[in-house]
Amino acid sequence: MNQHVNDVKYVGWVMESVPIAVFENYELSSMTLKYRRQCSQSDALQSMCSPTSCTAKLEKEAEVEVNGAGCSYRAGSQTSIPDVAKCVPPHLQFTHLLRLQVDGAEILQGKTQWRLKKSKHLH
């Protein structure tokens, strides 16, 4: 009636910014949202996320990071994309921000935690 957005819509917008590789390899284990202000259905928003704890070590002590493009592998000066099964850490955490596109005003801040899907556990 008042044209404000339902809480379920906020969750959907937060999830839109999570990289596809995360959905393929992880399941959501927790979500915390802090609402800063309301928005209406006509507002244009930006949905952003950033990994906050996403590094793991491979067998040879190489560092692996999960970013928006997937996994990146750093060993010395070489950078490549390894097999995802070798580079996924058991847990990930992302911070999220929804803001108005017109002036950057914060609508919502959030955190999500993800655990590796049972079928993806490394042995």
Active-site residue numbers? 2, 4, 39
The three-class DSSP label of residue 86 is: helix
62 token code pair: 């190489």
Please, which residues have CB within 8 angstroms of residue 4's CB and are 6 or more apart in sequence? 38, 39, 40, 41
The three-class DSSP label of residue 89 is: coil
